[in-house]
Amino acid sequence: MIKTDNDWWRGAVIYQVYPRSFFDSNGDGIGDLPGITAKLEYIASLNVDAIWLSPFFTSPMKDFGYDVSDYRDVDPIFGTLADFDALVARAHELGLRVMIDQVLSHTSDQHEWFKQSRQDRDNDKSDWYVWADARPDGTPPTNWVSVFGGSAWTWDSRRRQYYLHNFLSSQPDLNFHNPAVVEQVLSDVEFWLQRGVDGFRLDTANFYYHDDQLRDNPANTEVREGGIGVRLDNPYAYQCHIYDKTRPENIGFLQKLRALLDRYPGTTTVGEVGCDRSLQTMAEYTSDGDKLHMAYSFDLLTEQGSPQFIRHTLETIERGIGDGWPCWSVGNHDVQRVMSRWGDAGAPQAQAKMLMVLLLSMRGSICIYQGEELGLTEAELAYEDLVDPYGINFWPEFKGRDGCRTPIPWQADVPQAGFSSAKPWLPVAIEHHRRAISVQQDDAASILNSYRAFLGWRQQQPALCKGEIHFIDTADNCLLFSRTLDGEQMLVAVNMGAEPASLMVDGNWRAMTLPDSLPLGHLSGDRLSLPAYGVLICKPA
């Protein structure tokens, strides 16, 4: 059962479930809520604290649920509200809290609000979305571009105006400058609080407001990879996004949202922040205890995975976050799987275990994306198998997000790896069969059982969950840092390289007893020896 702890989220480990690809209970090739409920014991066995469910709301599925057409109902492909209630009840029985995705910045163009809004300029919902007249020459009102490519404005012939969409043209942006919109959105959030959810992952949490003066974004003179939509083959990278998102008014909305959650003790939020100054925005959005509880950025979800980059990212946020709280992940439903993005050839098991220890030793709360506990790599799909509009638009330079969204392999020796009795919505990768849960379940040295063991061990280490962090200079391929809480100190050493490493450490330390399935180093005097992808955690002697 759930323990009473209003601060449970601080240092928690949250397991992200992508419902379409978790488990199909009714044989239609698409995962569903009853399928998740049937597998909650598996999730609980990982020793995580909560689950985060990607969108399951009513939707035409142009962007696979991130285009909501009814904020208060379950799409029939996933089940019913009764199925959701049963999932929450069973999760709570197992001691798991439930967080759900809230896509508040935009809706589907099939939402009744938008259908009414586009009818004319005088109806009750006419100002619920961002409408603007064309420039004198008929072109869009601003130079803003969509994350998915092309203009962020689409012409509507009935209203004879453009509407704003930061993503697909079928995802019109809500107008948060309208108080009625804010009131309605908060009411829809409360609908799920009243059904017993424990928190929300907030999609595109810095996109709620736009510049009401509709000023053009300036050019980005220092184009670089990284962040949401920032790819050099995408025109989105070539603007500084100072007017189309991360506006000052966003703070006021987050404060109203926090005030709502404060009426439901023990609930929490984690906001997705993708912008040109993401770490600064994370700090700003989580400070002073009156906005988001946690936030994460795309900094560790990019192509870069060097020890130097990781240290720079964590030290940067620590300098600015004050009393705020970060959330970290190295994978999710939007990016290439970490074992392909950061992994060496063959995605070695030891490397997957090392990345787990590194992630779970960072200061902050942690999100684990389904399949990471199996060491899954990015699935290679043929063009004809793609369904993601992002990938279809930018193929072949960018293959989209389908490769990280393929179904979870439950059983190695059955069709569709036990995910479904029918052809799944995305093919199960052949190479994933050999890392199926059935293969790893009874292998004490598997990646899966290493996750279980280390997560269980971590729960008993307050300094690792909530302590301060301080980095120590060390060898190029390694990270060395301390975690400290209430006088308790731990030293974490991680070798990210494929060759053994030897580190000198100051002070008197002793190695802690970690699960022996990990690639463990050893300590002799002041010399710490780490094998390839090795890890070691020490306490003062």
Q: List phi, psi (to 5°) of 336.
A: -55, 140
Residue 468 CB contacts under 8 Å (≥ 6 apart), including other chains: 363, 483, 484, 485
Residues with catalytic function? 203, 272
Does residue 502 contact residue 529 with C-beta atoms inside 8 Å? Answer: yes
pLDDT at 221: 85
Per-residue confidence (pLDDT) for residue 231, from 0 to 100: 58
Residue pointed to by tokens 């935009």: 106
User: Yes or no: is domain 13-106+178-348+365-449 CATH 3.40.50.300?
Assistant: no
Residue 351 neighbours by CB under 8 Å, 6+ apart = 339, 343, 344, 498, 533
CATH fold of 462-540: Immunoglobulin-like (2.60.40)
Which residues of the chain carry a pLDDT beneath 70? 223-232, 303
User: Which residue, 541, 528, 537, 370, is CA-closest to 467?
Assistant: 537
The number of beta carbons lying within 10 Å of the beta carbon of residue 4 is 8
Measured from the Cβ of residue 157, the count of other Cβ atoms closer than 10 Å reads 7
Angle, helices 307-321/278-286, rounded to nearest 10 degrees: 40
Tell me if residue 468 falls in helix, strand or coil: strand
DSSP single-letter state for residue 376: P
Structure tokens at 347: 């995605």
Measured between alpha carbons, how far is 143 from 356 in angstroms, rounded to an integer? 42
Does 348 sit behind a cis peptide bond, omega within 30 degrees of 0 on the bond before it? no
Q: Which residues contact 5 (CB under 8 A, 6 or more apart)?
A: 266
Residue 371, both tokens: 């399949």
Contact at 8 Å (CB) between 403 and 337? yes
Which residues share a beta bridge with 323? none
Residues 63/28, Cβ–Cβ less than 8 Å:
no
Nearest to 521 by CA among 487, 497, 486: 497
CA 31 – CA 18 distance, rounded (Å):
8
Report pLDDT for 396: 86
Tokens 């060097």 correspond to 306
pTM for the complete prediction?
0.96
Give the strand pairing for 365-369 and 13-17.
parallel
First to last CA, the chain: 37
Question: What Cα–Cα distance (Å) separates residue 113 from each residue in 107, 126, 334?
Answer: 9, 9, 27
For the chain, the residue count is: 541
Hey, which residues does 368 pair with through a beta bridge? Answer: 15
Answer yes or no: are the C-beta atoms of 511 and 523 closer than 8 Å.
yes
Task: For residue 183, count other CB atoms closer than 10 A to its CB.
Answer: 11
pLDDT on residue 223? 64
Q: Residue 113, CB half-sphere, CA atoms under 13 Å: how many? A: 21
CB atoms within 10 A of CB 356: 24
Q: Are strands 13-17 and 468-472 parallel, antiparallel or unpaired?
A: unpaired
Tokens, residue 514: 């970690």
- CA dihedral of residues 332, 333, 339, 343 (deg, nearest 10): -80
Q: Where are the domains of the chain?
A: 13-106+178-348+365-449, 462-540
CA dihedral 362→368→371→377, nearest 10 degrees, is: -50
Give the CA angle between residues 452, 453, 457 to the nearest 5°.
115
Residue 106: CA count within 13 A, CB half-sphere: 27
Residues pairing with 129 in the sheet: 174
How high is the pLDDT of residue 258? 98
Does residue 353 contact residue 361 with C-beta atoms inside 8 Å? Answer: no
Give the integer Cα–Cα distance in Å for 454 and 477. Answer: 23
